[in-house]
Structure 1
Amino acid sequence: MPLNVPGLVAVIVFYGFTLATGLWAAWKAKKEKRGGNQTEVAIVGGRNMNFFVGLFTTVATWVGGAYINGTAEIVYLPSRGLAWVHAPLGFSLAFIIGGLFFIKPMRSKKYVTMMDPLQETYGNTMGSILFIPPLLGDIFWFASILASLGATVSVILDVTGFVSIIVSACTVIVYTLLGGLYSVAYTDVIQLIFMLISLCTCAPFALMNPATTNIAYTAVHELYQAPWIGKIETEYLARWVDDLIFLALGSIAWQVYFQRVLAASSTSQARLISYIAGFICAFMAVPSLLIGAAAASTDWNQTTYGLPSPAERGESSMILAIVLQYLCPTYVSIAGLGAVAAAVMSSADSSLLSSSSMFAHNIYKKMLRKQASEKEILWIMRISMVVFGSAATGMAFVSRSIYDLWFLAGELVYAVLFPQLCCVLFIPGTNTYGSAAGFLFGFILRLLAGENSLRIPPIIHYPGCRLVDGAYVQLFPFKTFTMLCTLASIILVSYLTEILLRKNIVSTKWDVCNVVRKSHAPLACPRTEEPTDHQVNEMLMHSIEGHT
């Protein structure tokens, strides 16, 4: 297939426009920094983010390349179908639950990152350990969505995928590095609008292609493959529920979410953004759902793609790009490619800012250099963006394993980090010993369930564990079970160590985390402001007059 020159030009124009928007936002952020805390402006936008900008950046962060590509793929897969599309409902529930329960306690103490309450309760050392799962998740997320863009570009433009991966990564790193949250948020506005228009334009063309049968018929009737609406077998119901709860609760404990709700100008505005974003996020899945349904309803022998079908060739992961290329006119496929590029950058910049913010604020400032200046912290953020972004770009070239690692990192965040966050916000009395025990227990318990992508066989065979195509499949809701076990271990170990140390059953000399000392710390004296030079002079004059 020859190089698609018009498509290449359109993509270059789009990238240039995005970069220009990011640079303009960086200039705006520079003006804001002159009148406030530079770190807070870079991380949480000075806590005065415009409502609509905040809403758009929240939606765009979650509606990424993996979201729109993955939704179309699952609908298309003969073994899955619409019934197994969890992301739209799961993310919507995450936004609603986050708005109801998590926003107020996080904003009430004016935290800067998600790690602040964890370090405040469990200390800096434990906080640095808890930083590892979300850091890996952000890097793997960045890498996986770059890989999805590379696959799409290679199909539509006939350009080597690594070129688009490198260009996209460099563009994202540059404007995020210069403008922080302002650049990310304002480019997200452009990207989300473009994504919505492009996908809504592409879906009708795919549905009306002569090779595509009416999707209402193929939803329930088998024609070219199994009905795309899919079904949930009774034996898989527990796993289906487990996956839904995993997305609904596991999607909360991420810095990309709290970065936006902490940037809102008020708690009520942050909650409203969260609620509305949940509904828009679900709506944004509709074009991908229709594209996946169109792919399942297409006689590929009537297209230039030919037979065997994408599923039979093992190319289901690229079904969105294949539909755009073979079922839509050229100019429409170019618009669809722009939508994928917009989706990728809107999520990639968020993950990059998330990991660098936590590293600079929670690791560097609070642990390595407590006396660091604002300017120094900003430079550490920028350096970490380059390092993390470069690492993710390198990983994007091994896309298959990266997707698996991303899912595993997400499960670790759900099983290990989410219970920790719940404890520090809602359950008083938990301590560092409980946190360490919960982290270790949850991590080991998750690995003992096995992981096919890493070729780790399950040691624990939960009820319903079976061998399918040479790999073990856990039908028991082990993700949620692991999360609940972690939560229980944090609470039990915390209260047990508190009792043992307080009653001197275990000598306090073994209290290396100073749990007893913290729980019995005297109330701090009221803090008074330092007197000004004028006040000091007046006190001296009164003292002299008194002596004379």
Structure 2
Amino acid sequence: MALNVGGLVALVVFYLITLATGIWASRRSKKEARGNPSEVAIVGGRNMNFWVGLFTATATWVGGAYINGTAEIVYLPARGLVWVQAPAGFALALLIGGLFFVNPMRSKNYLTMMDPIQEAYGNTMGSLLFIPSLIADVFWFAAILASLGSTMKVILDIQGYLAIVISACIVILYTLLGGLYSVAYTDVIQLVFITASLGICIPFAMTNSATESISRTVARHVFQAPWVGKIEAQDIGRWSDDFLYLVLGAIPWQTYFQRILSASSAKQARLISYFSGMGCFMLAIPSVLIGAVAASTDWNQTAYGLPTPNERGESALILPLVLHYLCPTYVSIGGLGAIAAAVMSSGDSALLSASSMFAHNIYRKILRKKATEKDVLWVMRASVVVFGALAAALAFYSHSIYDLWFLGGELVYTLLFPQLCCALFIPHTNAYGSAAGFFFGFLLRLLAGEPSLKIPPLIHYPGCSLVDGAYVQRFPFKTVTMLVALLTIVSVSYLAAFVFKRSLLPPTWDVCQLIKEDRMFVSLPTREKQTGLQKDGSDERMEENKSDGTL
């Protein structure tokens, strides 16, 4: 196989268009950033155009791992369409987010998802809870970079590491130049590429002479098991656990809140959340069809030959394989553009998310409280470079796109989701409960084991069995861990408040200064009534004092 020069040129042109768009958007961000540059970089000055906000919110979720992983799961004989949970899961997550999370976040004019957590539980817990969010964002970017590298190796016959390095450098460059504006406007270009490119590829793949009609193979065994798949009775718990993980675990991500906080009004933020969920669901259809085509193809009639991709262990590459072997060359190049666009649209969001929280919640609120706007902006830019380089390095060592994608969000689901819910919706929870929930939840998740990291389970939930040398938990243990963490936060918070307020423990043991904070907030309504600060949310000093509590 020779180097595909035409495809390489087309890809370079696409990258140049994306980079030019990002640089143009960065100039607009500089015009908007005269008063508060860090706020413009993080949430676009809270006046993002509705349509741009909708496009960027949709493109954020439709990444390389999303479109590659969906096609892979449909193709796998042991899985099939019924195991493709991300499209419906993300759609429901964005619906729930719009219904319940938009108003509480916007009413306080928060900049990041970590703001309400730091406000409720202090800076120490804010620092701890930043860690799972950072890990998730870096793993997410690494997964989609790996998917792009493997795709370029198949279609262009170039080394995957070149694709990873070049793509990471371009994403890092325009993200640090323009912040959310560059990310949002490049997302518009990238979403158009994804929709058009995959849409063009599908008819060619479906009408290839080596492919049977997918309507025939949907429920019949032709070349392999039917691509619709089935759920065995023993796997119902695991299936439901993964689905709830996608629905609820997709909410506590800064990439999501960055979009709804950048909208010009709460109404627009809710609409963006609802419609972007619909967009995510619809944009999974091309990947589903490509996976179905792969399951309906006699690979012996193609240049790929036998054994099949599944038998060779190359099922993770099924989307680029279909584009390369079942479509004309110029069409497969268009599909490559779609994957590259998907990678960038999610990668820049992950980078901006992690760097925003580090600069605002860690650097400005903890490390250097007197930092200027310029200082925060430069720390944010440096973070983009560091986190981007780390993700690119991890991409070289990833072996399973779908596993890496799932693993990156599990800590967010089990640790961060209950913390955010308690901070926003359950009054009087405190740092004691937050700390207990964090450590107990982390311990339970660790004891359940992790096959991809070769960590054996110490807790064998019902249905746990040994499969191919690794233990598989079929019980919905991730959801159980999340619920246990949630109950721990609430129960320990109320217990701590009871024992200290009733003087059952000496005040010197109150390391979180629970009694001091309680007295401070008793007088808060009177002060707000006198000064009128409650309406405009400008009582920054009181919020800062509250966030300074330590464990």
Instruction: State the distance in 1 between where 2:401 and 2:71 align.
Output: 19
Supply the AA of the counterpart residue of 1:12: V
TM-score when scaled to structure 2?
Answer: 0.95
Supply the AA of the counterpart residue of 1:458: P
- 2:294 equivalent to 1:295: yes
In structure 1, the partner of 2:306 is 307
- 2:248 equivalent to 1:261: no
Supply the AA of the counterpart residue of 1:67: Y
- 2:220 equivalent to 1:221: yes
- 2:104 equivalent to 1:105: yes
Q: CA deviation at 1:405?
A: 4.8
Q: Is the 8 A contact 1:143 1:402 kept in 2?
A: no
Instruction: State the distance in 1 between where 2:401 and 2:227 align.
Output: 27
Q: Is the 8 A contact 2:14 2:337 kept in 1?
A: yes
In structure 2, the partner of 1:376 is 375
1:47-74 CA-partner distances (Å, limit 9, x unpaired): 0000000000000000000000000000
Instruction: State the distance in 1 between where 2:303 and 2:403 align.
Output: 32
Q: CA deviation at 1:289?
A: 0.3
In structure 2, the partner of 1:537 is none
Gaps of 5+ in 2: 533-551
TM-score when scaled to structure 1?
Answer: 0.95
Supply the AA of the counterpart residue of 1:152: T
Instruction: State the distance in 1 between where 2:352 and 2:508 align.
Output: 41
SS in 1 for 2:327: coil
Q: Is the 8 A contact 1:140 1:402 kept in 2?
A: no
Q: Is the 8 A contact 2:69 2:401 kept in 1?
A: no
Instruction: State the distance in 1 between where 2:308 and 2:531 align.
Output: 74
Q: CA deviation at 1:406?
A: 4.4
Q: Is the 8 A contact 2:422 2:429 kept in 1?
A: yes
Instruction: State the distance in 2 between where 1:422 and 1:499 align.
Output: 22
Q: CA deviation at 1:407?
A: 2.6
Q: CA deviation at 1:404?
A: 4.0
Instruction: Tell me which moved more, 79-88 or 467-476.
Output: 467-476
Instruction: State the distance in 2 between where 1:458 and 1:390 align.
Output: 32
In structure 1, the partner of 2:518 is 519
SS in 1 for 2:193: helix
Instruction: State the distance in 1 between where 2:28 and 2:468 align.
Output: 55
In structure 2, the partner of 1:499 is 498
Percent identity of equivalent pairs: 67
Q: Is the 8 A contact 1:44 1:263 kept in 2?
A: yes
Report how many residues are paired.
Answer: 528
Larger radius of gyration between Structure 1 and Structure 2 = 1
Q: Is the 8 A contact 1:396 1:402 kept in 2?
A: no
In structure 2, the partner of 1:399 is 398
SS in 2 for 1:338: helix
Instruction: State the distance in 2 between where 1:24 and 1:296 align.
Output: 43
In structure 1, the partner of 2:341 is 342
Instruction: State the distance in 2 between where 1:234 and 1:393 align.
Output: 40
1:490-536 CA-partner distances (Å, limit 9, x unpaired): 0000000100001011111100000111112252445769xxxxxxx
Instruction: State the distance in 1 between where 2:400 and 2:489 align.
Output: 32
- 2:6 equivalent to 1:6: yes
1:191-250 CA-partner distances (Å, limit 9, x unpaired): 001110001111111111000000001111001100000011112112111111110000
SS in 1 for 2:311: helix
Q: How does 1:331-370 map to 2 (within 5 A)?
A: 331-370=330-369
Instruction: State the distance in 2 between where 1:416 and 1:377 align.
Output: 27
Instruction: State the distance in 1 between where 2:404 and 2:319 align.
Output: 22
Q: CA deviation at 1:411?
A: 0.8
Q: How does 1:410-489 map to 2 (within 5 A)?
A: 410-489=409-488
In structure 2, the partner of 1:21 is 21
- 2:62 equivalent to 1:71: no
Instruction: State the distance in 2 between where 1:181 and 1:217 align.
Output: 46
Q: Is the 8 A contact 1:202 1:332 kept in 2?
A: yes
Supply the AA of the counterpart residue of 2:237: A
Distance change in 2, residues 1:498/1:528 (3 Å): closer
In structure 1, the partner of 2:318 is 319
Instruction: State the distance in 1 between where 2:235 and 2:121 align.
Output: 38
Instruction: Tell me which moved more, 515-524 or 98-107.
Output: 515-524
Instruction: State the distance in 1 between where 2:323 and 2:40 align.
Output: 40
SS in 2 for 1:311: coil
Instruction: State the distance in 2 between where 1:239 and 1:144 align.
Output: 22
Instruction: State the distance in 2 between where 1:152 and 1:469 align.
Output: 28
In structure 1, the partner of 2:546 is none
Instruction: State the distance in 1 between where 2:514 and 2:399 align.
Output: 44
Instruction: State the distance in 1 between where 2:286 and 2:59 align.
Output: 15
Instruction: State the distance in 2 between where 1:236 and 1:404 align.
Output: 17
Supply the AA of the counterpart residue of 2:2: P
Instruction: State the distance in 1 between where 2:195 and 2:39 align.
Output: 31
1:418-460 CA-partner distances (Å, limit 9, x unpaired): 0000001000010000000000000000011111111111111
Q: Is the 8 A contact 1:195 1:342 kept in 2?
A: yes
In structure 1, the partner of 2:508 is 509
Instruction: State the distance in 2 between where 1:517 and 1:499 align.
Output: 14
Gaps of 5+ in 1: 530-548
Supply the AA of the counterpart residue of 2:30: K
Instruction: State the distance in 2 between where 1:494 and 1:240 align.
Output: 33
Q: Is the 8 A contact 1:238 1:477 kept in 2?
A: yes
Q: Is the 8 A contact 2:42 2:180 kept in 1?
A: yes
Instruction: State the distance in 2 between where 1:364 and 1:401 align.
Output: 34
SS in 2 for 1:472: strand
SS in 1 for 2:471: strand
Q: Is the 8 A contact 1:140 1:403 kept in 2?
A: no
SS in 2 for 1:42: helix
Instruction: State the distance in 2 between where 1:316 and 1:166 align.
Output: 24
Supply the AA of the counterpart residue of 1:320: L
Supply the AA of the counterpart residue of 2:200: T
In structure 2, the partner of 1:538 is none
Instruction: State the distance in 1 between where 2:248 and 2:369 align.
Output: 33
SS in 1 for 2:226: coil
In structure 1, the partner of 2:542 is none
In structure 1, the partner of 2:241 is 242
Instruction: State the distance in 2 between where 1:31 and 1:332 align.
Output: 40
SS in 2 for 1:288: helix
Instruction: State the distance in 1 between where 2:463 and 2:492 align.
Output: 30
1:384-438 CA-partner distances (Å, limit 9, x unpaired): 1111111111111012167645433311110010000000100001000000000
Instruction: State the distance in 1 between where 2:422 and 2:148 align.
Output: 38
Instruction: State the distance in 1 between where 2:420 and 2:226 align.
Output: 41
Instruction: State the distance in 2 between where 1:405 and 1:154 align.
Output: 20
Instruction: State the distance in 1 between where 2:124 and 2:400 align.
Output: 31
Instruction: State the distance in 2 between where 1:481 and 1:286 align.
Output: 31
Instruction: State the distance in 1 between where 2:203 and 2:94 align.
Output: 29
In structure 2, the partner of 1:387 is 386
Q: Is the 8 A contact 2:144 2:401 kept in 1?
A: no
